């Protein structure tokens, strides 16, 4: 054991003692920190003016030299944060990360641009880039650990990205679709209540855009419907789906999806009628005649044309004499 440990130690010392090439020495610059520089080119990319430094960054970016472009753009932001060239430099930082497929970092840098320089000339383009990044995650792209290691997809994080897009520009060209995609991400996470909330916000905020409002109300109804179809049938969600689909058909009667939602409403009402019918049968077996009649009547209200309604009418007629007999006995 001691001999093997000694051998490992000697091997390590030899490796440390051997001369290793250093093609990118680490250079420290006061006020800027450490950076790796190519041999023979240490500091040659630095300029004394913000405008010149930005030109270096832009030229490097155009040549797809993203490492150099990133360093030069970051230097503009650090050294001249209040200059007229800082917003474009911050934009290039985001573009560099996006070009490197580090979408999380790119989204964050774009967010910094929007927060730090809200009057930047290309705000709408930045919002679009954030929207496109979030859309890639909505499509299943994985989030990365440390910006490099793919780890997991997350619809919760994706929804938060779309929420930031909306918050950054609530009435921008991409905001309505971003708000709808908040709901889509919540649906993928099977968080139907939050999905409905997102769709309702889209319908309320963009009510003056009929296409967006119709889509939002339709999707809210579908989210309620999906919740109702979960393993345990949710009568409350079914009722909310019926109400939302009914609103959809009333508000947007010319929408081609109206026949579809009408069929869904019919199916939901039939299922509600079945549930009430089963409850009525339970009360009837317990000889709780009044309770049974209440639920049989509910069947008639929910779906008067269904087979359950026909059977409910028959059962009510059967129960009525029993209620009268019970009332007679109680009065005597």
By C-alpha distance, which of 59, 144, 65 is closest to 99? 65
Rg (CA), the chain: 33
Q: Using CA atoms in the order 253, 255, 260, 261, what is the torsion angle rounded to 10 degrees?
A: -50
Tell me how far apart the alpha carbons of residues 130 and 136 are, in angstroms, rounded to a whole number: 10
Burial of 19 (0-12, 13-18, 19+ CB in 10 A): exposed
- As a 3-state breakdown, the chain gives helix, strand, coil percent values, each rounded to 5, of 70, 5, 25
pLDDT band at 36 (very low <50, low <70, confident <90, very high): low
Instruction: Tell me what pLDDT residue 138 has.
Output: 97
- Does the pLDDT at position 328 exceed 90? no
For 3-18, write each residue's pLDDT tens digit. Answer: 545 544 554 554 444 4
- How far is CA 301 from each of CA 81, 304, 305, rounded to the nearest angstrom? 68, 6, 10
Instruction: Tell me what pLDDT residue 23 has.
Output: 47
Which one has a higher pLDDT value, 278 or 240?
240
| CA within 13 Å, CB half, 328 | 6
pLDDT band at 35 (very low <50, low <70, confident <90, very high): low
Instruction: Tell me what pLDDT residue 125 has.
Output: 97
For 192-216, write each residue's pLDDT tens digit. Answer: 999 999 999 999 999 999 999 999 9
Q: How far apart are the first and last CA of the chain?
A: 101
**Per-domain boundaries in the chain:** 273-332
- Does the pLDDT at position 86 exceed 60? yes
Instruction: Tell me what pLDDT residue 21 has.
Output: 46
For 271-303, write each residue's pLDDT tens digit. Answer: 878 878 888 888 888 888 888 888 888 888 877
């Amino acid at each position: 054991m001691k001999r093997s440990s000694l051998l490992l130690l000697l091997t390590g010392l030899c490796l440390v003692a051997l001369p290793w090439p250093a093609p990118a020495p680490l250079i420290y610059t006061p006020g800027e920190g450490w950076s790796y520089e190519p041999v023979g080119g240490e500091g040659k990319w630095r300029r004394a003016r913000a405008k010149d430094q930005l030109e270096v960054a832009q030229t490097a970016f155009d040549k797809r030299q993203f490492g150099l472009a990133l360093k030069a753009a970051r230097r503009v932001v650090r050294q001249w944060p209040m200059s007229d060239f800082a917003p474009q430099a911050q934009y290039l930082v985001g573009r560099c990360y996006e070009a490197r497929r580090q979408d999380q970092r790119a989204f964050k840098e774009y967010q910094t641009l929007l927060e730090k320089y809200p009057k930047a000339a290309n705000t709408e383009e930045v919002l679009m880039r954030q929207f496109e990044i979030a859309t890639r995650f909505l499509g299943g792209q994985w989030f990365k650990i440390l910006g490099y290691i793919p780890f997991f997809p997350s619809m919760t994080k994706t929804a938060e990205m779309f929420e930031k897009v909306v918050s950054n520009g609530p009435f921008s060209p991409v905001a309505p679709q971003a708000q709808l995609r908040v709901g889509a991400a919540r649906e993928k996470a099977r968080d139907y209540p939050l999905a409905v909330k997102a769709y309702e916000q889209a319908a309320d905020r963009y009510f003056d855009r009929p296409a967006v409002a119709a889509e939002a109300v339709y999707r809210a109804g579908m989210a309620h419907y999906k919740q109702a179809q979960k393993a345990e049938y949710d009568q409350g969600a079914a009722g909310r789906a019926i109400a939302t689909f009914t609103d959809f058909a009333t508000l947007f009667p010319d929408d081609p999806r109206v026949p579809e939602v009408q069929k869904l409403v019919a199916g939901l009402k039939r299922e509600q009628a079945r549930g009430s019918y089963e409850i009525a049968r339970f009360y009837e077996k317990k000889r709780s005649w009044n309770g049974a009649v209440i639920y049989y009547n509910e069947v008639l209200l929910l779906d008067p044309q269904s087979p359950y309604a026909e059977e409910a009418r028959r059962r009510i007629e059967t129960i009525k004499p029993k209620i009268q007999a019970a009332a007679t006995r109680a009065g005597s």
